[in-house]
A and B are shown apart, each in its own frame.
Chain A
Amino acid sequence: MSLQSFLSQGGYAFFVWGSYGMAALLLVAEIFLLQRRRKTILTRIRRLIRMRAQETNHESQT
């Protein structure tokens, strides 16, 4: 089978690749969002730890 005939899918390329394209897009988008969610919460926890450390420093000084 040639690449051209594979890509054209008998003239139904729009429908076939429209379906597979959306599947790929959704999976990639979800993986991206999952990574971003993890990064966000890790950053927030690091900030919480820093804030707590500053508070205890401040308390020990006064």
Chain B
Amino acid sequence: MNKKLGTNQDDVATASFIKKIHGWNLNAVYKYASPLTFYPLAGRLVPWFAWVAGILILVGLYWGFFQTPDQLGGANSQKEYYRIIFIHVPAAWMSMWLYVVVTGWSAVGLVFNTRQSFMMANAVAPTGALFTFLALWTGSFWGRPSWGTWWDWDPRLTSELILLFLYGGYMALHSAIDDTRRADKAAALIAIVGLVCVPIIFWSINCPDPNQCAALHQRSSMGRIEPNILTAMLLLTFGFWSYAFAASFARIRSIILERESTTQWVRELPEVRP
């Protein structure tokens, strides 16, 4: 397990070994499990995801501002500031989902000892942190007009803030260790331990007894939501998701170049010719 994976041949050997012991056909998986083949593939995928993200976000914004009621009535009446929901909820969903993705790639990397899995985790984390910050920021700007406060140590808000620290801890630990392979493994462990935060965030609004935990944050009201509001929210969610793909693929290309800068195939890339 401690065999140093220095070359692409080693990665292919690991993948064919995995294939042998499990009897799975992993041809396509191990073809792109090597930086040499994934680098150009990621490059081709970035513009597609970027365009899909741009279109979904623009249509979502149009829908959110022009196809929705200006104010919400009913039990939870809100004025125009409810429109923050179109950024807030997609950003919050992405913050949790991308953390699950970081953890997933970290676990795959630790189990199969594949370098590229750690690179994927590394590439996704900053975008996840961005959406976590955005969820907190927009929550604050929503909380001020609706609850009368920018911040409260409510379970949902507090656990989301801890998620931001977990992203920060993951990235800081990785950059603090000079040996990349050790940094990958240590950061992966932090990510996996931190995964406990995600279900806590998810269920933090379902406080069973309001006398025991004062939750300020609204419960999810997905079932009763106005269809146009839901449409705009889902458009922005898939737009952000597509953006996260584009940003992660763009970032992993730089990570691959940084880690493989001394290899022959990087030297032969057209973009580094003088």
User: Do A45 and B87 touch (CB < 8 A)?
Assistant: no
Bound-state CA distance A11–B65 (Å) is: 15
Q: Does B19 contact A (CB under 8 A)?
A: no
Main secondary structure of the interface of A (DSSP, over half): helix
User: Do A19 and B254 touch (CB < 8 A)?
Assistant: no
User: Do A10 and B91 touch (CB < 8 A)?
Assistant: no
User: Do B84 and A42 touch (CB < 8 A)?
Assistant: no
| Chain A: interface residue total (CB-CB under 8 A) | 28
User: Do A19 and B274 touch (CB < 8 A)?
Assistant: no
Using a Cβ cutoff of 8 Å, how many contacts connect chains A and B? 84
Residues of chain B lying within 8 A (CB to CB) of residue A38: 250, 253-254, 257
User: Do A49 and B274 touch (CB < 8 A)?
Assistant: yes
CB distance from A54 to the nearest CB of B (A): 13
Residues of chain A lying within 8 A (CB to CB) of residue B189: none
User: Do B87 and A34 touch (CB < 8 A)?
Assistant: no
Bound-state CA distance A26–B87 (Å) is: 12
Task: Name which residue of chain A comes closest to B81, CB basis.
Answer: A12
Given A10-B80, A20-B87, A34-B247, are A15 and B144 also a contact pair (CB < 8 Å)? yes
User: Do B274 and A1 touch (CB < 8 A)?
Assistant: no
Q: Give which listed residue, A10, A31, A42, A50, contacts B70 with CB less than 8 A.
A: A10
Given A10-B70, A12-B145, A42-B271, are A19 and B257 also a contact pair (CB < 8 Å)? no
Bound-state CA distance A29–B156 (Å) is: 27
CB distance from A23 to the nearest CB of B (A): 5
CB distance from A5 to the nearest CB of B (A): 9
Main secondary structure of the interface of B (DSSP, over half): helix
Select the stretch in B6-14, B101-109, B259-267 that faces chain A.
Answer: B259-267
Residues of chain B lying within 8 A (CB to CB) of residue A10: 70-71, 79-80
Residues of chain A lying within 8 A (CB to CB) of residue B243: 27
User: Do A45 and B84 touch (CB < 8 A)?
Assistant: no
Bound-state CA distance A43–B71 (Å) is: 52
Residues of chain A lying within 8 A (CB to CB) of residue B247: 30-31, 34
Q: Does B66 contact A (CB under 8 A)?
A: yes
CB distance from B11 to the nearest CB of A (A): 21
Given A1-B66, A30-B127, A49-B267, are A22 and B138 also a contact pair (CB < 8 Å)? yes
Q: Give which listed residue, B130, B142, B254, B262, contacts A15 with CB less than 8 A.
A: B142
Residues of chain B lying within 8 A (CB to CB) of residue A15: 81, 84, 141-142, 144-145
- Map CB proximity to A onto B238-273 as digits: 1 under 8 Å, 0 otherwise: 000001000100110110011001100011000110
Bound-state CA distance A62–B261 (Å) is: 28
User: Do B272 and A37 touch (CB < 8 A)?
Assistant: no
Contacts A10-B79, A16-B84 aside, 10 further interface pairs with beta carbons under 8 A come to A1-B66, A12-B145, A15-B142, A19-B84, A38-B257, A45-B257, A45-B261, A48-B261, A48-B267, A49-B272
Interface CB pairs A-B, < 8 A, 13: A6-B65, A10-B71, A12-B81, A12-B145, A19-B87, A19-B137, A22-B134, A30-B130, A31-B247, A37-B251, A38-B257, A41-B257, A49-B274
